[in-house]
Amino acid sequence: MMKRTHKYFPILPVLVAYGALLGYGLFFPGKWQLVSQLAFYCTLGQAFNLFMGMTGYVDFGYVAFMGVGTYGMAISIYHLNEKGLGLSIILIGLSLAVAFSIILSLAVGAVALRLRGAYFAIATIGVNEGFRFLIEGARIWNGSEGIIFTRHMKKAFGKPAAMAIGTFWADIMMFGVAVLAAVLTLVYMRNKVGYALTALREDEDAAKVMGINVTKYKIIAFITSAALAGLLGATAWALKLQYVYPTDVFEIHYTVEAIIIVLLGGAGTLLGPIVGGLIYGISKYYLSIVLPGFQLLIFAPLIVAIIVLFPEGTVGILKKKVINTPLQKFII
């Protein structure tokens, strides 16, 4: 049995990695754009991994949760900007984002999480498309015209503050979401939730027979992952871009990117999404300079290659290498 303090040691490399990334952005001028991009991918992977990595279920409609989170922030700024609430609008927006994504995840999870493997994937693949068409079809939240709230942000916070939020503080908040996602993953892993999820990932029937309420734990992981996605959408998209169109935020390519990141790093590991996010982000950044428009064409075969040849991912392989070394307690 490991000591109580040792339980949460693996958070250290995560904090070091994010700290280094943040420091690189702060002290090297002109690199902030790249750093925020990389942090976005790490966060996306971390949030997605919490469900896919820990349960072994693929949610093809994941981006829908980011989409509704973005809308949560957008409508709170759009409607409340003249109330003189100051920065607390952002807090309201974040809670609205979490609320929206939790509601959607409950609605989807209530149906989809009763289903296994292939049926689960089938049920989720339409979530982002379905929700996008609901917004466009019933003209909810301005329908297909979207919400542009740059003006409203300036009215709410003043021009310099709105600029600073868009270019700097949104990214800092995104780092916060990243750390939150990592901490939650570790806490889950080291507690009953994580053990239950591991059991059900390996053999769901056996877990059920052993008396584990599998549906309950799946829903916990699903909702947590969705709420983190909502926060990511609210910070990385809404506050940064200051507009939201249904066609942009319900774009399935972000789900693809999340899958690539998690697989590159190693599904179900804590460090995996960070390693995967950095590898993916950096190679995408340079590929978009060298070969613009070819990123997916190169990454899609890569997914196949990883699944067939290295299903454990980078950190999964590393984890095996460091067993019985002092590094063991830092890498999971």
Note the residues at the interface with another protein (CB under 8 A).
Answer: 52, 56-58, 60, 108, 111-112, 114-115, 117-119, 121-123, 125-127, 129-130, 133-134, 136-139, 143-144, 201-202, 252, 256, 259, 263, 291, 293-294, 296-298, 300-301, 303-305, 307-309, 311
CB of 164 vs another protein, minimal distance in Å: 36
Between residues 128 and 242, which has the closer beta carbon with respect to another protein? 128
CB of 122 vs another protein, minimal distance in Å: 5
Between residues 56 and 166, which has the closer beta carbon with respect to another protein? 56
- The set of residues, in sequence order, having a beta carbon less than 8 Å from that of 287 and lying 6+ positions away, is 294, 295, 298
Three-state secondary structure call for residue 43: helix
Between residues 6 and 253, which has the closer beta carbon with respect to another protein? 253
According to DSSP, the residues that pair with 243 across neighbouring strands are 148
What is the bridge-based pairing of β-strands 243-244 and 147-148?
A: antiparallel
Between residues 87 and 210, which has the closer beta carbon with respect to another protein? 210
- Residue 262, token pair as written in the block: 């998690």
Helical H segments across the chain, by residue range: 11-27, 32-55, 63-80, 88-112, 117-125, 127-137, 150-157, 159-164, 170-189, 192-202, 204-209, 214-232, 240-241, 246-249, 253-265, 272-290, 295-309, 313-321
Between residues 279 and 296, which has the closer beta carbon with respect to another protein? 296
Between residues 11 and 121, which has the closer beta carbon with respect to another protein? 121
CB of 113 vs another protein, minimal distance in Å: 11
Between CA 211 and CA 209 the distance in angstroms is 5
CB of 107 vs another protein, minimal distance in Å: 9
CB of 265 vs another protein, minimal distance in Å: 14
Between CA 50 and CA 276 the distance in angstroms is 14
Between CA 20 and CA 36 the distance in angstroms is 13
CB of 74 vs another protein, minimal distance in Å: 20
